[in-house]
């Protein structure tokens, strides 16, 4: 019984973070048609910025918001400097097939990941460093038992819930949100309606960058920070996005929580080494049973 | 006035428009007719900025439309309803119309509400279905929605591509009539592309016949309609 409750608690707080990672991936996929493998590299970079600020005596909260802003800026920078020139028609006419052309930015994102990790190694040295949490890391006590749910976990769940609600309101209720949905669904009609699709695209990168930086900030206190610590989160987040349907934001959140619970249960009931196998099993199961994901549209299959 | 001069547009090595020159007079309906593959859609797509011409010029009221993105061309009052009832199926009727007004929502908030109301009066069926997803509409309703999406920005020039495609004759008539009334009432200039030459020439003031990317006739609509030789040679009936 204790193990079950513990698994549920851990699953919730982990799932919340994976939902954020998956949401970031889905945003760029919908907004720019790119699976951004550099996403958690960007998050790692901004988490290092936060960590450096904290080590230099600035408050956690200042570092927290600076890192999120840095994540957004880095996202826009990558779109403007790397991705947009790459998807420019003239430069890619050499590649004849459409699938080859759309692969170029994805490969570039792997390159960016490598560059960011190397750069972080050069700037901050490649050793792991701790990253403080703003709250106590002791579990709450329920009925005399210490639960693996700390005030930091509560903070994680609250922050993610607020972020998700704000995202939903933004997309459903604001003009910019509508412009983003329209451009993701049909570029041509969006353009003819006067929507500046380039700006919308950059905004997708910004929001995705901010969301994944937030995920990075929420993940590192329970592990450590090194240029490679967030790689696993990318794999899990990507799986969550595929499970949810890659082009669906609510789907990505559902996928995130499914992965959170699966990993947490495997961790408690089996051994931690089995989680990679579990992730793969979930991915294969969804791809076999429902290839377009839980809430995915019809043509996600080709991904 | 819309002036197209020596316009050439190619897709790779295929020339779709070959040195096309034509004029569209203000507050009139001009139709471009011709067989499949004559370059009608390409003409509209080049005017609205979706395709880049290799040479020639396009001016709207003396203002050049060349080297501008589609989203900027809408801002000078040229709205394009592309072929195939172009609406976004996964958005509601209301959202599709709102989408067309986004770019002027800061400056013309009140006018947008008014324009939306006018469109619902013009196409009452859209009002009934405004909370429904556009994907659930019938073909005719989708075409009405696509036109509304374009009209909500209060364009001065409407580029309309094959509104009759795949629709029942009665619905086509209803849509074409609405456009005619709108043009007469508000002075909207319309460039209508149609494969259905009879319908188009019936409503238009002026007609241009395209064949294999070239202009073969440019005359008042009623003259073009009466010319049996041209009809037999280029339209096949």
A189 touches chain B (CB under 8 A): yes
Say if B59 falls within a structural domain.
no
Cβ partners under 8 Å of residue A97, min gap 6: none
Say if A141 falls within a structural domain.
no
Say if A159 falls within a structural domain.
yes
> Are B176 and B199 in contact, with CB atoms under 8 Å apart?
yes
Q: What is the pLDDT confidence band of residue A33, given thresholds at 50, 70 and 90? A: confident
Instruction: Choose from B70, B106, B109, B146 for mutation: most chain A CBs within 10 A.
Output: B70
pLDDT tens by residue, A180-205 = 999 999 999 999 999 999 999 999 99
Say if A136 falls within a structural domain.
no
pLDDT tens by residue, A208-227 = 999 999 999 999 888 788 89
Q: Could you tell me if the ipTM is greater than 0.90?
A: yes
Say if B191 falls within a structural domain.
yes
Q: What percent of chain A has a predicted confidence (pLDDT) above 90? A: 59
| Inter-chain residue contact A195 with B149, CB threshold 8 Å | no
Q: What is the CATH number of the domain that holds A52?
A: 1.10.3470
> In 3D, which of B213, B207, B215, B211 has the Cα closest to residue B234?
B211
Number of domains in chain A: 1
pLDDT of residue A301: 40
Q: How many CB atoms lie within 10 A of CB A298?
A: 7
pLDDT of residue A222: 80
Please state the pTM of the whole predicted model: 0.88
Instruction: With a cut of 90, say whether residue A90 has pLDDT above it.
Output: no
Q: What is the pLDDT confidence band of residue A303, given thresholds at 50, 70 and 90? A: very low
Q: What is the pLDDT confidence band of residue A298, given thresholds at 50, 70 and 90? A: low
Say if A146 falls within a structural domain.
no
Burial of A160 (0-12, 13-18, 19+ CB in 10 A): buried
- Residue B22 to residue B39: CA distance in whole angstroms: 14
Instruction: With a cut of 50, say whether residue A302 has pLDDT above it.
Output: no
Number of domains in chain B: 1
- Residues of B within an 8 Å Cβ radius of A: 48, 50, 69-71, 74-75, 79-80, 82, 86-91, 95, 98-100, 102-105, 149-150, 153
User: Can you give the residue range of the structural domain that contains B170?
Assistant: 27-38+84-235
Q: How many CB atoms lie within 10 A of CB A126?
A: 12
Helices (H), chain A: 2-32, 39-55, 60-78, 84-87, 89-92, 98-124, 151-173, 175-185, 187-192, 197-219, 231-244, 249-269, 275-289
Question: What crossing angle do the helices spanning A151-173 and A2-32 adopt, rounded to 10°?
Answer: 30
> Are B135 and B93 in contact, with CB atoms under 8 Å apart?
no
User: Can you give the residue range of the structural domain that contains A209?
Assistant: 2-88+103-129+152-300
pLDDT of residue B233: 80
Instruction: With a cut of 70, say whether residue A257 has pLDDT above it.
Output: yes
- Residue A239 to residue A278: CA distance in whole angstroms: 11
Say if B198 falls within a structural domain.
yes
Say if B22 falls within a structural domain.
no
Q: What is the CATH number of the domain that holds B105?
A: 3.40.50.300
Query: What is the pLDDT tens value at each position of chain B, 237 positions in all?
Result: 999 999 999 988 889 999 999 999 999 999 999 888 889 999 999 999 999 999 999 999 989 999 999 999 999 999 999 998 789 999 999 999 999 999 998 888 888 989 999 999 999 999 999 999 999 999 999 999 999 999 999 999 999 999 988 898 889 999 999 999 999 999 999 999 998 888 899 999 999 999 999 999 899 999 988 888 887 887 776
* Set of chain A residues whose Cβ sits within 8 Å of the Cβ of B82: 188-189, 192
- Residue A8 to residue B28: CA distance in whole angstroms: 69
A163: left (phi over 0), alpha (psi -120 to 50) or beta: alpha
- Residue B231 to residue B228: CA distance in whole angstroms: 5
> Are A294 and A285 in contact, with CB atoms under 8 Å apart?
no
Q: What is the pLDDT confidence band of residue A136, given thresholds at 50, 70 and 90? A: confident
Say if A147 falls within a structural domain.
no
- Retrieve residue B50's tokens: 């979706």
pLDDT of residue A206: 97
Tell me the residues of chain A between 71 and 90 that have a Cβ less than 8 Å away from chain B: none
* Set of chain A residues whose Cβ sits within 8 Å of the Cβ of B84: none
pLDDT of residue B36: 85
* Set of chain A residues whose Cβ sits within 8 Å of the Cβ of B98: 175, 178
Say if A78 falls within a structural domain.
yes
């Amino acid at each position: 019984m204790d193990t079950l409750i513990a698994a549920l608690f851990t699953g919730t707080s982990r799932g919340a973070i994976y939902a954020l990672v998956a949401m970031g991936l889905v945003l760029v996929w919908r907004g720019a048609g790119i699976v951004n493998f550099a996403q958690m590299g960007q998050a790692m970079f901004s988490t290092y910025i936060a960590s450096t600020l904290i080590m230099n005596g600035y408050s956690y909260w200042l570092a927290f918001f600076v890192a999120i802003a840095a994540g957004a800026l880095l996202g826009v920078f990558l779109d403007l400097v790397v991705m947009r020139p790459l998807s420019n028609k003239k430069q890619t006419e050499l590649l004849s097939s459409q699938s080859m052309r759309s692969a170029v930015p994805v490969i570039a994102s792997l390159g960016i990941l490598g560059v960011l990790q190397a750069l972080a190694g050069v700037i901050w040295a490649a050793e792991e460093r701790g990253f403080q949490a703003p709250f106590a890391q002791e579990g709450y006590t329920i009925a005399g038992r210490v639960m693996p749910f700390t005030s930091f976990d509560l903070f994680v769940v609250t922050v993610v819930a607020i972020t998700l609600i704000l995202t939903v309101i933004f997309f459903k209720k604001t003009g910019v949100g509508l412009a983003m949905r329209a451009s993701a669904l049909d570029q041509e009609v969006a353009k003819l309606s006067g929507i500046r699709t380039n700006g919308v695209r950059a905004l997708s990168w910004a929001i995705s960058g901010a969301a994944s930086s937030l995920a990075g900030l929420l993940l590192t206190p329970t592990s450590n920070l090194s240029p490679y610590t967030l790689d696993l989160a990318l794999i899990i987040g990507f799986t969550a996005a595929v499970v949810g349907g890659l082009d669906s934001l609510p789907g990505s959140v559902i996928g995130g929580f499914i992965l959170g619970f699966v990993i947490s249960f495997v961790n408690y009931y089996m051994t931690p080494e089995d989680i990679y196998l579990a992730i793969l099993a979930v991915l294969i199961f969804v791809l076999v049973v429902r290839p377009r994901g839980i809430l995915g549209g019809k043509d996600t299959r080709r991904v | 006035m819309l002036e197209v001069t020596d316009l050439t547009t190619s897709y790779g090595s295929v020339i779709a428009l070959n040195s096309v020159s034509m004029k569209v007079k203000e507050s009139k309906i001009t139709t471009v007719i011709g067989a499949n593959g004559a370059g009608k859609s390409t003409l509209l797509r080049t005017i609205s900025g979706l395709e880049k011409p290799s040479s020639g010029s396009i001016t709207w009221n003396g203002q050049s439309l060349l080297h501008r993105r589609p989203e900027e061309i809408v801002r000078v009052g040229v709205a394009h309803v592309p072929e195939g009832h172009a609406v976004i199926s996964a958005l509601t009727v209301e959202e599709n119309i709102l989408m067309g007004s986004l770019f002027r929502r800061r400056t013309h908030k009140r006018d947008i509400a008014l324009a939306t109301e006018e469109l619902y009066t013009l196409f009452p069926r859209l009002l009934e279905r405004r909370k429904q997803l556009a994907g659930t509409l019938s073909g005719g309703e989708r075409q009405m929605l696509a036109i509304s999406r374009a009209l909500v920005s209060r364009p001065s020039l409407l580029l309309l591509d094959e509104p009759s495609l795949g629709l029942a004759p009665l619905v086509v008539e209803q849509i074409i009539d609405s456009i005619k009334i709108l043009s007469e009432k508000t002075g909207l200039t319309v460039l209508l592309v149609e494969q259905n030459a009879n319908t188009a020439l019936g409503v238009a003031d002026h007609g241009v016949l395209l064949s294999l990317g070239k202009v073969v006739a440019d005359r008042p609509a009623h003259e073009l309609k009466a010319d049996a030789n041209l009809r037999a040679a280029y339209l096949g009936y």
